[in-house]
Structure 1
């Protein structure tokens, strides 16, 4: 019982309560609670329980929340526990005996083991069987016909429509054939403002949307797209009404634009393509042979290794999956997770749980329910939590991992280990197809995910059944919910008159997620027991800001995330929030609370774009560092003789600072450093070279360097990723420098009339580099031949790297951040996975055109015909930056991670995704 997570869907707050039993004085009460918990755990491990058992479990979970709330909030909780709750605990144990629940029949499931290493399940698996469809659509997209064409992809759920759309998306980057593109997902209950804002933000990344009304957004889209060749994908359409509105935003023109819509409904597909069936692609189930190929590949891996097992593959399981790739992948992921421990019984159990002679929708639903039941209890809780988000809401892995930890769903000794466990759960759910891998990288480097719509339906229903999450959306006329609500999700979207039902006891709610207009936001201060708060707010009318001044009254609050398109007003002081660990404001803040520096538990701090930074000394002292600073405008000096704690693992200082502080060189456990400086001198680099634990270094310099930046023998021995941006590129690597470096991203400018010398002296010494990305901007006055000269110099520099079988350089041009004109090149070993040794997040695949000739490098260059912009101007986009620290890159002892975030940015994951800006995020 000591290994229980503090909070879970099946056990309520029993795990948290167990952790406090030692403080109880009443021995009899402690024994009764232990007995109650063990009985609840026994039933939680069973399947298909009778109604009486399920009702008893729900009542005990509610009781556990009542008890832990008393312990956390009442000064005289010891007396109340004995006086009020002991009779209730005894009564609950008595009912268990009277109902004879000890002997209720139940069926136990084989539980999917938690993988220690999660394989990379390719998101496009199964497309090999649909090559004709892919080729046909690719030809139509670029057939030279200048008329706007709308193509529809229709098929049942789980057939692979989104996978096909993503494949087409990756193969058609801006600048290749289309001027701009957008990928947007809808839902059964669509929010048209969110959909249109998302499209506008993607096709016009340099100018975030400022309109809120649908007609204004349509006007802005029409004006921007009227003279462009655009490529739009609208995924998962459920009703023609969404298309009827969105279609007004897409000018017909004669520029060869293309739109793709995916849907499960044939009438919707026909309406989108103006009832021209020749533009409708109907996806069919996989054949038996292709189904078997997909199944065996997913269970045993690709190549020859599974050939000896092929005869053991039960044809009946494959047949019952009815050719649905989603069903095949989900089932095969369970079998693959057992590895060598697989038994015939496992196969037979799965076969017996799959339906026969039913519809495709029912087959997929039953498969997903079976997968859910096969998950470990903690993973079930984590999956159910995602019902807090609306259908098809785009999520980030790092966000969700931190939220699971903050909610108390993960049991582990340290914060780092909790994040690792959370990451393993997330990867498991992705591999099973419960969470979809949406590699539509709006900012070129950040992966998004979404819960499959059928999974979302299942977990929403299951959350209601378990009374785990109560979801209320604007369209519900009648709402069924328990008299005790612990987690509340208000999904109001663009509704202007949505309200929180009066019958909900706000004083009982522990976690609240709100998505809607500021005018419908309930009074947050009424939720006295809140530990966890997410607010995604839109101000639909001009206002004086979003008033969150009473947030300081939520004394139990641990996690606060606010995303808003208006100014957020925080209280003058936060002195009551002694437990607050995460404060993330993705909006402009009117004023920083004066005592923010004294938040004792604060671990993660993010402040929005345009916010005046608070006194850095206090923040760094209370979080991880202790340098005495002096501020000057938006530039901060962080130097001094202060002695920072050695436990610091991660530092990100994205508001520009004058120089690299000397004390950084003393952080022997520092793993991740991302920093923007006004100037860089060789002394600064010398200060960093001894950081033996550093694995990620992102260094951006605003002023041109006047001397060669050299890395000596033995420098940065653990470094795996190096990102460097400056107006000029003049780096030197001695033999033995950065011996473990695997990836580099280098940015510099083309200047008018410049003669380039050696940009990368000693690059041949970086023998383990597998990927090089270069970004070349252009300063005012630079012409095409200046860009060509910079390109040529960079090619020559990269060419000095020893060519061999393991490094076959290839280059593509890709749109990078908000730059209006830039040249981006990439060299990569095509055999290398997109995931590097667990130290970086998985990245979206690139459509890399490989041209390698034995030991020589063949380069294909193409340019964007747009306006010039320089690397110096990249630093002006600091207001649209945000930070993602790859926890996998942090290898620490048992001491807590230290994380500093001082990054002004503007973020709206739904409408914009992570905003485009340079310096870019480190690729995690």
Structure 2
């Protein structure tokens, strides 16, 4: 097993002879970068997946009792507790072997429950767990210092807690763990933002198998979880170094001899919700995280506090935040409670605040007092929260805003965004009532078009998302051709607020664009060519009603960088085909289409040309059909996938009959055209009647 980096592998590689004599050398590593590097030198890179539950169970019982499948009945009384123990192992063979050795020969259920309840301490004290501890120590000390710090910080969170990437990175920034460096593009030097650097830290910990990825979309983990064994290890290290202090430490008087720096409180018992500062010296707390019941203000007497996370704090009320201004050095504040309906009145006193997260509250408007937060860089509010005129334009330090709401009265606030020269990430929600199906108010719909155009052309965004919280509207399609972004640095663009008439030609000129989400009324060959010619495009989510003349053809030589494709064809009647040489790097393919009959397929059922996508590792297809045609299509796709060299996993989903009702695009759009004409006629009659009065 290799613990060094790519340099260590290069040294080993020099000693290996490549003489085609048929010998094979297998090296294992916990580092994805080393594995990828070795494969580029002629090797083969195989990523080990966690064991499935049946395989985990088989290994566990064989190690603990020498039991084969036929002998499980003898230990049926351990079925439930063994399941919980195996869940702790998360499919990791070393963890399974370690725990099974601890439980070998023990058949009493109580003994197993005791081990389950104290897995951390058992592993720490049992000599048979030395292998696990040794491996974790090697992995930990192989980390550079900044990653060790970031890993230790995860001991703040409780067991099995899902830690969202955005929250974690913003906390790292507030704690001062992120060190800005210079990154390089192909043509010029470029300074990375603190968040981008933190994202690199996060991905490196995943690549080193020290944290488990959660909620993976397009190859990017949106969250993580710490394996119980790793959590126990880093908790011990954090305690040794006085890096993190837990509530239990306070209760046991373990902070009496030193000053607590970072405090994590899990107060799920209301009787524990008040903690006296006499338990230890809490005056130097820099970070406080509360899980469970709100902790009374008597324990929050700390002028040095930089990070306050009440995101998992139950029963939090508006009045609990009345004295928030006492933490005048606060850089990070996260609040999450349905009972929070307004911004704290004294929030203007937090002059050093850089991150404010109130996404999961019932706050319905941003007050003018927030303009006093002149260092605020990241603001997260509930989806669709309006900013009245004159507010957003005064917040010159903003770099990222999520939840920005737009309605017919607030379009002017979008123009203020031009004043924010540092703003790089913006998530906008358009008011649903402006998008009502069949609405005769064409002016509102035109306003939405202008809003989107203003956003595209007014700022040098890196990430821009325009959405709403309801289903796709049927209004439109609208055109984006005239609205060309002013920057070529745009990296992520998500427009799910309406269908567009065609893919704008300027898309291909966005040389940094990596992620794109669009809904196109009718996908034409020209649209496919524009998308396929976008040089850096890695992730594409595309929704369309149908292809021109009932066909979508992906030619060879296009989408040379694309790794993840999610394509949804809304209506029947479109045949899809990938030509040889198309999408040479595509790893993850997700398709949704509706071939109800042979007629709807534009001819005989097809395998879609999936056998030409040689880099595929994962295929997910939703065939919205209940007739015999679906069986034939499914068989063809599975056969095509079976020919691919990477042996991709394949998942094919079939809905029930009601969901798969045939909706052929030629018939559907004829009906909609008739409805639109009728709506326009009614609107004209109403105008004439009003004018006559």
Alignment TM-score > 0.5, same fold: yes
Q: How far off its partner does 1:665 sit?
A: 4.6
Cα gap change, 1:509/1:833 in structure 2, threshold over 3 Å: closer, same or farther?
Answer: farther
* Contact 1:630-1:637 at 8 Å conserved across structures: no
> In structure 2, do the counterparts of structure 1 residues 620 and 472 end up closer, same or farther at CA, with 3 Å as the change threshold?
same
The Cα shift of 1:642 comes to 7.3
Q: Partner of 2:212 in structure 1?
A: 437
Structure 2 residue 548 is matched with structure 1 residue 772: no
**2:516 pairs with 1:722:** yes
Distance 1:770 1:394, change over 3 A: closer
Structure 1: runs of 5 or more not aligned? 1-114, 142-147, 166-234, 237-260, 276-326, 328-354, 778-786, 815-824, 835-847, 871-924
- The structural deviation recorded for 1:559 is 0.7
Q: 1:416 aligns with which of 189, 192, 198?
A: 192
Structure 1 residue aligned with 2:344: 571
Structure 2: where are the runs of 5+ without partners?
Answer: 1-30, 37-44, 62-67, 70-75, 114-122, 183-190, 432-446, 594-607, 619-636, 662-693
Task: Kindly indicate whether residue 329 of structure 2 is the aligned counterpart of residue 556 of structure 1.
Answer: yes
CA distance in 2, matches of 1:478, 1:532: 24
**Cα deviations by residue, 1:335-387 (Å, 9 ceiling, x for unpaired):** xxxxxxxxxxxxxxxxxxxx9xx833123223323443444333332222222
2:497 aligned residue (701, 708, 714): 701
- The structure 2 residue matched to 1:530, chosen from 305, 329, 335, is 305
Report what 2:291 is aligned to.
515
Question: How far apart are residue 652 of structure 1 and its match?
Answer: 2.2
The answer to whether the aligner puts 1:388 opposite 2:169 as a matched pair is no
Between 759-768 and 360-369, the greater mean CA deviation after superposition: 759-768
In the other structure, the counterpart of 1:671 is 462
1:404-437: per-residue Cα shift (whole Å, max 9, x none)?
A: 221012333688354455445444444444x332
User: What SS does the corresponding residue of 2:482 show, helix, strand or coil?
Assistant: helix
Q: Is the 8 Å Cα contact of residues 554 and 582 (structure 2) preserved in structure 1? A: no
For the residue of structure 1 that corresponds to 2:277, the secondary structure is coil
Matched residue SS, 2:90:
helix
Q: 1:646 & 1:530 partners in 2: Cα distance? A: 30
In 1, Cα distance between equivalents of 2:181 and 2:457? 27
Q: Does 1:457 align with 2:232?
A: yes
Q: Alpha carbons of 1:715 and 1:491: their partners in 2 closer, same or farther (altered >3 Å)? A: same
Shift of 1:396: 2.9
SS at match of 1:383: helix
Q: Distance in 1 between matches of 2:255 and 2:152?
A: 18
Are residues 400 and 760 of structure 1, via their aligned partners in 2, closer, same or farther at CA, if it must alter by over 3 Å? same
1:162 pairs, out of 77, 83, 90, with 90
For the 8 Å contact 1:812–1:826, the answer to whether it is kept is no
SS in 1 for 2:237: helix
Give the alignment's Cα RMSD to 1 decimal: 5.5
**Do the aligned partners of residues 116 and 538 (structure 1) sit closer, same or farther apart at CA in structure 2, a change above 3 Å counting?**
closer
Between 1:471-480 and 1:451-460, the stretch displaced more is 471-480
2:640 to 846, 851, 866: 851
Tell me what 1:599 maps to: 373
Residue 363 (structure 1) aligned with residue 137 (structure 2): no
Q: Does the Cα contact within 8 Å between 1:156 and 1:264 map onto a contact in 2? A: no
TM-score of the aligned structures, taking structure 2 as reference length: 0.60
* CA 739–467 in structure 1, closer or farther in 2 if over 3 Å, else same: closer
User: What whole-Å deviation, never above 9, does each CA across 1:852-886 have from its counterpart, x for those lacking one?
Assistant: 4889xx9985323387599xxxxxxxxxxxxxxxx
The 2-side partners of 1:134 and 1:829 are apart by: 36
* Equivalences for residues 584-663 of structure 1 within 5 A: 584-590=357-363, 592-608=366-382, 612-615=385-388, 617-619=390-392, 621-622=394-395, 623-624=397-398, 632=407, 636=411, 640=415, 643-644=418-419, 648-656=423-431, 658-659=448-449, 660-663=451-454
Q: Once the 2 structures are TM-superposed, how far is the Cα of residue 632 of structure 1 from its aligned partner?
A: 3.4
Aligned equivalents of 1:826 and 1:467: distance in 2? 59
Deviation, 1:599, is 1.6
Q: Residues of 1 paired with 2:308 and 2:424: CA distance?
A: 27
Residue 719 of structure 1 deviates from its aligned partner by: 2.3
TM-score by length of 1: 0.47
SS at match of 2:225: strand
Q: 1:429 to 1:640 in 2, by over 3 A?
A: closer
SS of the equivalent of 1:864 reads coil
Equivalent pair of 1:571/1:593 in contact (CA under 8 Å): no
Q: Which residue of 2 aligns with 1:692?
A: 488
Taking the aligned partners of 1:156 and 1:525, their CA distance within structure 2 comes to 37
More relative contact order, 1 or 2 (CA 8 Å, 6+ apart): 1
Counterpart secondary structure, 1:600: coil
1:111 counterpart residue number: none
Distance 1:630 1:161 in 2: 44
Structure 2 counterpart of 1:491, from 235, 252, 266: 266
Q: Cα deviation per residue 1:766-812 (whole Å; 9 max; x = unaligned)?
A: 442443212456xxxxxxxxx6x1xx52x42x547865876699666
Aligned residues: 524
Q: CA deviation at 1:574?
A: 2.5
Change (3 A) 1:123 1:487: farther
Shift of 1:602: 0.9
Distance 1:473 1:535, change over 3 A: farther
8 A Cα contact 2:355 2:379, kept in partner: yes
Q: Cα distance, 1:149 vs. partner?
A: 13
Once the two structures are TM-superposed, the CA of residue 489 in structure 1 deviates from its matched residue by 1.1
Question: 2:639, 2:216 → 1: CA distance?
Answer: 21
Say if 2:400 and 2:426, in contact at 8 Å, map to a contact too: no
